[in-house]
């Protein structure tokens, strides 16, 4: 099977979906993204990424019930799938593995 | 979300843009998300900033930036499952059997239409295949000549040439590879003691190498070289020698009246195929004719045979034509001019080349002198048109009946949709059913075509067989026909049926409102076509009646024509004396055979296109042609044969004579022989009624011979009289076969083509009206069924049977009337076009159209009535009892 690549922005969005645990949809993801990372992205970027993540099988979605909010329009709620979790874990493992290999003197945060 | 709603309203234009352009699959959620975000932004960052971000957000989810969500199927993608297929088939057959009458109308109608189309495709194929079997066919041309009258600009086209012309062209023009002259004749053949009259054709020695007739035995190159050679077809060899292996055998022929000469069979060929314009049983070398008829050999001006030229592959026919004219003018230009001048003509004479393969379908240069089976493309067009009409009518039946029947299937459609059937599946299902019906009709069509083939063959005077069907193009054509019919007949019903909404369908409220317009206009089209054909049929019938019953100016009843032996004038008197002894023979007259036309000098004027016949003194009384002035020929005036002529009124009129008797006429260019007009006969139709009465000169010139004996017999005991005639003939003429015809038969034969048109168009009209009525019958049946309750209620409230029939018939009557109105101008045009060919024709009066209208309306209402009557009679209790 083809190994699916997870981009940096996708990774962030996927993490946000995981964080929100069933409450993730376009608005919450956008707001959290802004709140947590300070990045202002267009709504389209988030929308497209969510669709792409779903195509890759990392999240699944379903339409929420009708509410009186937002003019009765339904939300599409996203939840992370097992494949999504695995992908996140793999990324994290790879990162820590790589962190372990970095010689301590190579990272001088203070610039001394 | 309790803020002032006005503040929360994002820019409306951006919202509209979003609704308009954003993919519909995700529109709802995106719209909601953006609205929620806008509210948030408003609160935190102020309205202006929020608006900016909102617009930016909208833009980012418009194409081409937005990513489309892949549509997700609610059900797995259905390919045709076997179970589903079986269900479709079951339902299809159940439907077919549930309404047997309607299915029969559908299938029979379509198969008839298809059978018509098949037969006509067959006919067209045969017409187009004429003369295509010659290997060098594309290089063979017929030499034609065209005479253009410089005064009137009239063109006289002619496919014939003279004896010396062809060889001269070949000698002087290198572009011409070969020349073949083709000239038919008759000969007596001796078989034991029997003498048999056989037709043959004189051809040049290269005939068998230029044309690809298949040579069974003998050398095609040398077969026609010797002066004593003869080539036979297998059938003729069989007839005279009992075997097709006849090469080297001797055949005695008597080409002139004097002696028998022995000819050696040098080759045996297969009989020319049916689709050949050249048909022969015996070939003789042209050299024989050239040696025998030396006068003709050097006669450049008499055009009496067909000359075929095989051109060099690189030659341009137009260039060669021009060169041929130059060659002719060098040899005979002066003589031609002189001859034309004698007739008072100034004309341009040109030669041309007609492609041999065009011979059959382009009648402009005419057939004759051995070239047979001329046809015209018009017949093919007319037949194809009729076939298309009939197929169209049958397809319309199919569409209308299927759509109307569909109400019964509304529930099925509803259920299929409710359990998840998609529209495309339904379309496929109904198209499949249409295809199934077409298949059945197609099979039946082939069967029908097979059955109708013998009748069709007599119609079109051909010997077609269904073996012709086994041809790649034709099979492809038929399959194409079937597919087109399926599409034409199945697409619309499938579209309508699959468009039912499940709720209305399941509540049984589905109605075909609005769709009626289409169905009705189809009925109108159908009946317009049928009416058109009926108008044309009636026209042809009345014109035909007119042709065969018009007073011809002479009495053609009980007149028998007997061909005299060639040069048989010496026996004429014997026959006359013997025959006039019989009490049942009223009169015996003689006339020259064939038609001779010339220009006559009448005083200072020239009378063109005058028909000349040699007749004896009994002719006028036998034909009951009255004299208008002067006297008949008479034995009492011995100088009559050398000096006198009779003319008809038309001749006198064209000559400008008030008092024709005593005037003098001569053949143009022959100023030595003047003849005195001794009498004027009343105008009569000696030609067919397609032509105006032409100027006529009756004479008794001794240099011409009589060829026909005309015997007026009593109407009683005709068989005995005919036997007597034959006996007398045989007693006095041993060699030439006896043949007779009645004049009214001869007269009727002149209208063979019209008779054929009559048959074909009558059949087509009959079929068209039958099919249209079947369709109408089906529609009426459905309409009565749908209105069962209405009829019941009306009856309870006191409506009479006739009122209900009227109610049901009214709708259809209106349609038929509209169709009639549409068909009248078209019919007038078509009938007028056909009548144009006749100099004497009927008037297209209102009676004819009225008759057509009454016919159509009565037949149509009859069809509706047959169905309406039982429904109107039905007991209302039955229809109202159940709900």
Contact B636, B644 (CB under 8 A): no
Residue ranges of chain B whose pLDDT lies below 70: 1-8, 71-80, 257-258, 344, 468-470, 508-516, 566-569, 734-735, 882-883
Choose the closest CB to A25 out of B1, B28, B33.
B33
What phi and psi, each to the nearest 5 degrees, are found at residue B479? Answer: -60, -40
Please measure the distance between the N-terminal and C-terminal CA atoms of chain A and give it in whole angstroms.
47
Predicted local confidence at residue B516, as pLDDT? 64
Give the containing element (helix H, strand E) for B145: strand B140-149
Burial class (CB in 10 A: 0-12, 13-18, 19+), A5: exposed
DSSP conformation letters of B523-564: HHHHHHHHHHHHHHHHHHHHHHHHHHHS--SS--TTEEEEEP
As given in the structure block, the two tokens for residue B58 are 């909208």
Predicted local confidence at residue A2, as pLDDT? 47
DSSP conformation letters of B354-400: EEGGGTTT-GGG--BTTB-----HHHHHHHHHHHHHHHHHHHHHHHH
Q: Does A90 reach chain B within 8 Å, measured CB to CB?
A: no
What is residue B596's three-state secondary structure? strand
On chain B, the residues whose CB falls within 8 A of the CB of A42 are 56-57, 59-60
Residue B719 CA to residue B704 CA, distance in Å, equals 33
Predicted local confidence at residue B650, as pLDDT? 92
On chain A, the residues whose CB falls within 8 A of the CB of B70 are 55
B782 sits in the region (left: phi over 0; alpha: psi -120 to 50; else beta) called alpha
Residue B767 CA neighbour count, 13 Å, CB half: 25
Q: Note the CATH architecture for domain A8-102.
A: Orthogonal Bundle (1.10)
Angle at alpha carbon of residue B131, lines to B125 and B136, rounded to 5° = 130
Query: Closest Cα partner for B275 from B144, B124, B387, B449?
Result: B124
Chain A residue with minimum CA distance to B1: A69
Angle of helix A8-20 versus helix A82-101 axis, rounded to 10: 120
As given in the structure block, the two tokens for residue A21 are 């645990």
On chain A, the residues whose CB falls within 8 A of the CB of B31 are 73
Residue B749 CA to residue A68 CA, distance in Å, equals 93
Contact B223, B211 (CB under 8 A): no
Choose the closest CB to A51 out of B35, B36, B67.
B67
**3-class DSSP string for B696-757:** EEEECCCCCCCCEEEEEECCCCHHHHHHHHHHHHHHHCCCCCCCEEEHHHHHHHCCHHHHHH
Residue A50 DSSP one-character state: H
What is residue B306's three-state secondary structure? strand
Query: Closest Cα partner for B283 from B363, B203, B354, B225?
Result: B203
The CA-based diameter of chain A, rounded to the nearest angstrom, is 58
Chain A residue with minimum CA distance to B27: A73
Choose the closest CB to B37 out of A27, A51, A55.
A27
Chain A residue with minimum CA distance to B41: A31
Q: Do A43 and B33 touch (CB under 8 A)?
A: yes
Q: Do A30 and B32 touch (CB under 8 A)?
A: no
Contact B241, B249 (CB under 8 A): yes
Domain residue spans of chain B: 1-72, 83-130+375-511, 137-365, 513-550+756-883, 559-749
Q: Is the peptide bond before B760 cis (omega within 30 degrees of 0)?
A: no
Choose the closest CB to B61 out of A43, A69, A71.
A43
As given in the structure block, the two tokens for residue B532 are 């058109």
As given in the structure block, the two tokens for residue A87 are 């992908």
Residue B155 CA to residue B792 CA, distance in Å, equals 74
On chain B, the residues whose CB falls within 8 A of the CB of A73 are 28-29, 31-32, 35
Contact B816, B856 (CB under 8 A): yes
Query: Measuring CA to CA, how many Å separate A16 from each of A48, A50, A78, B7, B29?
Result: 15, 11, 10, 30, 19
* Interface subset of A 28-87, CB within 8 angstroms of B: 30-31, 42-45, 47-48, 51-52, 54-55, 63, 69-71, 73-76
Which residues partner with B607 through β-bridges?
B600
Q: Do B32 and A71 touch (CB under 8 A)?
A: yes
What phi and psi, each to the nearest 5 degrees, are found at residue B605? Answer: -90, 160
Q: Which residues contact A13 (CB under 8 A, 6 or more apart)?
A: A29, A33, A46, A49, A50, A53
Q: Does B30 reach chain A within 8 Å, measured CB to CB?
A: yes
Q: Does B10 reach chain A within 8 Å, measured CB to CB?
A: no
Predicted local confidence at residue B114, as pLDDT? 83
Q: Where are the alpha helices (DSSP H) in B131-267?
A: 165-172, 207-210, 234-241
Residue B26 DSSP one-character state: G
Predicted local confidence at residue B785, as pLDDT? 74
Query: Closest Cα partner for B677 from B687, B693, B666?
Result: B666
Chain B residue with minimum CA distance to A71: B32
Choose the closest CB to B60 out of A43, A71, A74.
A43
DSSP conformation letters of B417-448: HHTT--HHHHHHHHHHHHHHHHHHHHHHHHHH
Tally helices (H) and strands (E) across chain A: 4, 2
More confident residue, B477 or A84: A84
Q: Which residues contact B201 (CB under 8 A, 6 or more apart)?
A: B182, B183, B184, B185, B278, B280, B282, B283, B284, B370
Q: Does A10 reach chain B within 8 Å, measured CB to CB?
A: no
Contact B559, B622 (CB under 8 A): yes
Q: Do B34 and A43 touch (CB under 8 A)?
A: yes
Predicted local confidence at residue B414, as pLDDT? 85
Q: Do A63 and B29 touch (CB under 8 A)?
A: yes
* Interface subset of B 42-81, CB within 8 angstroms of A: 56-57, 59-61, 65-70
As given in the structure block, the two tokens for residue B538 are 């009636």
Choose the closest CB to B31 out of A51, A54, A73.
A73
Residue B754 CA to residue B541 CA, distance in Å, equals 9
Give the containing element (helix H, strand E) for B291: helix B286-292
Task: Tally Cβ neighbours within 10 Å of residue B116.
Answer: 26
Q: Do B70 and A52 touch (CB under 8 A)?
A: no
As given in the structure block, the two tokens for residue A70 are 């937002």
Q: Which residues contact B496 (CB under 8 A, 6 or more apart)?
A: B403, B406, B512, B515
More confident residue, B485 or A49: A49
Contact B212, B133 (CB under 8 A): yes
What phi and psi, each to the nearest 5 degrees, are found at residue B58? Answer: -60, -45
Whose structure tokens read 């042209």?
Answer: B286
Q: Does B692 reach chain A within 8 Å, measured CB to CB?
A: no
Q: Which residues contact A18 (CB under 8 A, 6 or more apart)?
A: A80, A84, A85, A88
Residue B313 CA to residue B608 CA, distance in Å, equals 43
As given in the structure block, the two tokens for residue A76 are 């599409």
Chain B residue with minimum CA distance to A52: B67
Q: Do B56 and A42 touch (CB under 8 A)?
A: yes
Q: ipTM, 2 decimals? A: 0.89
């Amino acid at each position: 099977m083809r190994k699916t690549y997870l981009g940096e922005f996708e990774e962030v969005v996927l993490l946000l979906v995981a964080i929100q645990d069933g409450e993730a949809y376009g608005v919450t993801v956008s707001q959290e993204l802004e709140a947590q990372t300070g990045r202002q992205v267009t709504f389209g970027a988030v929308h497209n990424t969510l669709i792409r993540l779903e195509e890759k099988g990392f999240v699944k979605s379903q339409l929420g019930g009708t509410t009186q909010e937002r003019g009765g329009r339904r939300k599409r709620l996203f939840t992370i799938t097992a494949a999504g979790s695995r992908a996140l874990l793999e990324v994290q493992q790879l990162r820590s593995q790589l962190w372990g290999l970095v010689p301590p003197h190579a990272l001088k945060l203070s610039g001394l | 979300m309790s803020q002032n709603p006005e503040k929360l309203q994002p820019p409306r234009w951006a919202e509209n843009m979003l609704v308009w352009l954003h993919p519909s699959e995700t529109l709802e959620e995106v719209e909601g998300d953006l609205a929620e975000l806008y509210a948030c932004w408003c609160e935190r960052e102020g309205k202006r900033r929020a608006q900016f971000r909102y617009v930016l957000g909208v833009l980012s989810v418009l194409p081409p930036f937005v990513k489309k969500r892949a549509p997700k199927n609610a059900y797995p993608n259905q390919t045709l499952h076997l179970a589903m297929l079986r269900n479709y088939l079951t339902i299809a057959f159940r439907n077919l059997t549930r309404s047997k009458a309607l299915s029969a109308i559908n299938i029979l109608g379509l198969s008839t239409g298809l059978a018509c189309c098949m037969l006509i495709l067959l006919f067209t194929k045969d017409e187009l295949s004429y003369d295509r079997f010659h290997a060098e066919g594309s290089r063979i041309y017929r030499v034609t000549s065209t005479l253009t009258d410089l005064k009137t600009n009239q063109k006289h086209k002619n496919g014939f040439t003279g004896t010396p012309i062809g060889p001269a062209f070949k000698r002087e023009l290198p572009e011409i590879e070969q020349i073949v002259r083709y000239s038919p004749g008759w000969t007596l053949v001796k078989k034991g003691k029997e003498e048999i009259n056989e037709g043959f054709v004189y051809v040049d020695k290269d005939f068998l190498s230029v044309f690809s007739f298949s040579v069974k035995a003998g050398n095609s190159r040398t077969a026609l070289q010797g002066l004593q050679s003869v080539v036979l077809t297998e059938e003729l060899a069989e007839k005279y020698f009992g075997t097709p292996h006849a090469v080297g055998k001797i055949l005695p022929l008597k080409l002139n009246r004097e002696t028998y000469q022995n000819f050696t069979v040098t080759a045996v060929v297969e009989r020319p195929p049916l689709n050949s314009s050249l048909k022969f049983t015996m070939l003789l070398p042209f050299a024989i004719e050239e040696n025998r008829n030396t006068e003709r050999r050097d006669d450049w001006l008499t055009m009496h045979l067909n000359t075929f030229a095989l051109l060099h592959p690189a030659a341009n026919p137009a260039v060669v034509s021009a060169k041929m004219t130059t060659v002719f003018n060098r040899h005979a230009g002066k003589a031609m001019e002189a001859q034309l001048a004698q007739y008072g003509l100034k004309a341009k004479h040109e030669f041309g080349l007609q492609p041999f393969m065009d011979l059959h379908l382009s009648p402009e240069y005419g057939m004759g002198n051995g070239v047979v089976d001329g046809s015209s493309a018009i017949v093919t067009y007319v037949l194809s048109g009729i076939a298309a009409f009939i197929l169209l009518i049958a397809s319309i039946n199919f569409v209308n009946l299927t759509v109307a029947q569909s109400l019964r299937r509304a529930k099925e459609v509803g259920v299929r949709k409710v359990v998840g059937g998609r529209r495309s599946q339904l379309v496929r299902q109904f198209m499949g059913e249409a295809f199934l019906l077409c298949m059945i009709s197609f099979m039946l069509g082939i069967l029908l075509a097979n059955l109708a083939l013998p009748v069709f063959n007599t119609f079109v005077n051909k010997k077609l067989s269904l073996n012709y069907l086994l041809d790649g193009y034709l099979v492809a054509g038929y399959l194409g026909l079937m597919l087109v019919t399926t599409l034409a007949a199945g697409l619309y019903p499938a579209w309508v049926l699959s468009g039912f909404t499940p709720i209305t369908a399941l509540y049984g409220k589905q109605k075909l409102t609005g769709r009626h317009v289409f169905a009705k206009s189809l009925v109108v089209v159908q009946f317009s076509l049928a009416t058109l054909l009926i108008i044309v049929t009636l026209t042809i019938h009345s014109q035909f009646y007119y042709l065969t019953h018009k007073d011809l100016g002479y009495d053609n009843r009980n007149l028998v024509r007997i061909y005299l032996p060639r040069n048989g004038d010496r026996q004429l008197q014997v026959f006359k004396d013997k025959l006039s002894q019989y009490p049942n023979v009223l009169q015996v007259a003689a006339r020259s055979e064939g038609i001779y036309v010339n220009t006559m000098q009448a005083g200072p004027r020239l009378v063109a296109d005058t028909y000349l016949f040699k007749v004896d003194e009994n002719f006028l009384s036998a034909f009951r042609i009255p004299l208008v002035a002067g006297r008949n020929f008479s034995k009492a005036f011995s100088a009559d044969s050398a000096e006198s002529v009779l003319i008809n009124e038309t001749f006198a009129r064209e000559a400008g004579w008030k008092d024709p008797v005593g005037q003098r006429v001569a053949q143009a260019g022959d100023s030595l022989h003047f003849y005195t007009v001794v009498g004027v006969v009343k105008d009569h139709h000696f030609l067919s009624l397609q032509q105006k009465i032409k100027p006529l000169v009756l004479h008794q010139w001794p240099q011409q011979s009589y060829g026909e004996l005309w015997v007026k017999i009593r109407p009683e005991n005709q068989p005995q009289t005919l036997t007597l005639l034959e006996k007398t003939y045989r007693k006095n003429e041993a060699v030439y076969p006896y043949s007779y015809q009645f004049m009214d038969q001869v007269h009727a034969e002149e209208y063979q083509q019209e008779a054929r048109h009559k048959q074909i168009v009558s059949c087509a009209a009959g079929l068209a009206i039958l099919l249209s009525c079947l369709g109408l019958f089906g529609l009426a049946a459905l309409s009565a069924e749908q209105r069962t309750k209405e009829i019941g209620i009306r009856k309870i409230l006191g409506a009479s049977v006739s009122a209900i029939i009227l109610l049901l018939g009214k709708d259809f009557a209106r349609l038929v009337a509209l169709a009639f109105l549409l068909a009248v101008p078209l019919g007038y045009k078509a009938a007028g076009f056909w009548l144009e060919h006749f100099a004497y024709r009927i008037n297209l009066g209102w009676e004819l159209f009225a008759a057509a209208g009454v016919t159509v309306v009565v037949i149509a209402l009859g069809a509706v009535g047959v169905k309406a009557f039982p429904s109107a009679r039905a007991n209302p209790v039955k229809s109202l009892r159940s709900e």
